[in-house]
Amino acid sequence: MSNTGVQEKPLISTRRSGRIAIRISIEVSGFDQHGTEFTQKAFTTTVSRHGAAISISHSLNPEQEIRIRRAKGNIESVFRVVGQIGVESFENVYGVARENAGRDVWGITFPQSESSEMLANILLECRRCNSREVVGMIDIELEVFKTNGYIVRNCTTCFEQTDWFMVPDDLTTDRSPQSSVARRKLPSNNGRAVNRRKHKRVEMELSACIRQAGHSEEFVNTADISKGGMRFLSKTDYLISSWVEVAVPYVAGSANIYMAARVVRVQESKNTGFREYGIEYAPQR
């Protein structure tokens, strides 16, 4: 974390829908930096409506085209290499953008619009047919999901009501309900409430994961949440106006949706050693 006071750029796209951290088995084909044609089994590290981050051993050039085929379902689409993001487990990680936007390669249904009442987007899977959708949830739906680890909803493929769970990585086969979305208690905040946001707040304890460049992931619980952001306690020193990535609700071993957010409020929490943070999601575009 920078201590210069200079505002950092957001770590991810400012699209409200965010990125889904999920490993999907894929096959990548194209030409590498040396002009050698290749076809390689690989996997995604994150996906979104318009692109993905992929882990691959070959070196690629920005702006070149590659073909990506999802192993499950044998669906293929053309992608443009945007650039290299980093290295993970000795493999190159590239950001790629989908060229033919109408082709669904991930097998995930993304929402076309979002209600003003939705507090969170979660990637869920139908237990019966394994259809996957990004589902927006209002407060009561989140409460049910937090308690049970799944929610019952209408499946447009099964044509009936079915149980929907968070999606595991392709490396995971467990489809059992999560024990709880909220796993730890936060220190008491003496019932203090601050309501200066333009969005309605809901007091709800959900597990969340905070990421910031150069630092390890931090797992916290929300004190309250709204469509526009959330409030939480932490001992980590996050600078005002700095950018983070946040996934809420967060469940380990599952596909979690990360969104860009900015720290807009920092206040010492008396007698706890914690600081109270308010973060605001990046605006939708």
The fraction of the chain above a pLDDT of 90, given in percent, is 52
Query: What's the mean pLDDT in 81-94?
Result: 89
Cα gap 110→102, rounded to integer Å: 12
Cα gap 120→16, rounded to integer Å: 10
Same domain flag for 217 and 267: yes
pLDDT at res. 119: 85
Same domain flag for 125 and 151: yes
- Residue 247 belongs to some domain of the structure: yes
**Structural domain ending residue among the three candidates 46, 63, 98:** 98
Among the ranges given (42-56, 107-121, 175-189, 264-278), the one the predictor scored with the smallest mean pLDDT: 175-189
Q: Which residue has the higher pLDDT, 229 or 115?
A: 229
Question: Within 13 Å and on the Cβ side, how many CA atoms surround 178?
Answer: 25
- Residue 171 belongs to some domain of the structure: no
**Structural domain ending residue among the three candidates 98, 132, 155:** 98
pLDDT at res. 187: 41
Give residue-wise pLDDT tens across range 103-149: 678 888 887 665 556 788 899 999 999 999 999 888 888 888 888 88
pLDDT at res. 86: 86
- Residue 51 belongs to some domain of the structure: yes
Query: What's the mean pLDDT in 228-247?
Result: 93
Q: What share of the chain is helix, strand, coil (3-state, %, to 5)?
A: 5, 45, 50
With cut-offs at 50, 70 and 90, classify the pLDDT of residue 249. Answer: very high
Cβ pair 229, 263 in contact under 8 A: no
Query: What's the mean pLDDT in 22-45?
Result: 94
With cut-offs at 50, 70 and 90, classify the pLDDT of residue 179. Answer: very low
Cβ pair 261, 232 in contact under 8 A: no
230: domain CATH number?
A: 2.40.10.220
**Structural domain ending residue among the three candidates 98, 117, 134:** 98
Which domain, by its residues, includes 63?
25-98
Indicate whether 17 pLDDT > 60. Answer: no
**pTM of the shown model:** 0.74
Same domain flag for 159 and 113: yes
- Residue 46 belongs to some domain of the structure: yes
Indicate whether 81 pLDDT > 80. Answer: yes
- Residue 249 belongs to some domain of the structure: yes
Same domain flag for 126 and 82: no
Give residue-wise pLDDT tens across range 180-212: 443 333 343 443 434 444 556 788 999 999 999
Query: Which backbone phi and psi does 127 adopt, to 5 degrees?
Result: -65, -25
Detail the DSSP E strand segments found in the chain. 19-21, 25-31, 37-47, 51-56, 65-70, 75-88, 91-98, 108-109, 120-126, 132-137, 150-155, 160-166, 207-211, 218-226, 229-234, 243-247, 256-268, 275-281
- Residue 251 belongs to some domain of the structure: yes
Task: Region of 229 please: left (phi>0), alpha (psi -120 to 50) or beta.
Answer: left
- Residue 173 belongs to some domain of the structure: no
Give residue-wise pLDDT tens across range 211-228: 998 788 999 999 999 988
Residue type, 279: I
Same domain flag for 93 and 113: no
pLDDT at res. 74: 81
- Residue 128 belongs to some domain of the structure: yes
pLDDT at res. 101: 61
**How many folded domains does the chain comprise?**
3
Write the burial class of residue 10 (CB in 10 Å: 0-12 exposed, 13-18 middle, 19+ buried). middle
pLDDT at res. 9: 40
Question: What's the mean pLDDT when you consider all of the chain?
Answer: 81
pLDDT at res. 35: 93
Indicate whether 172 pLDDT > 80. Answer: no
Tell the residue number behind the tokens 């720290």, with chain if given: 263
Query: What's the mean pLDDT in 35-48?
Result: 93
Query: Which backbone phi and psi does 145 adopt, to 5 degrees?
Result: -65, -40
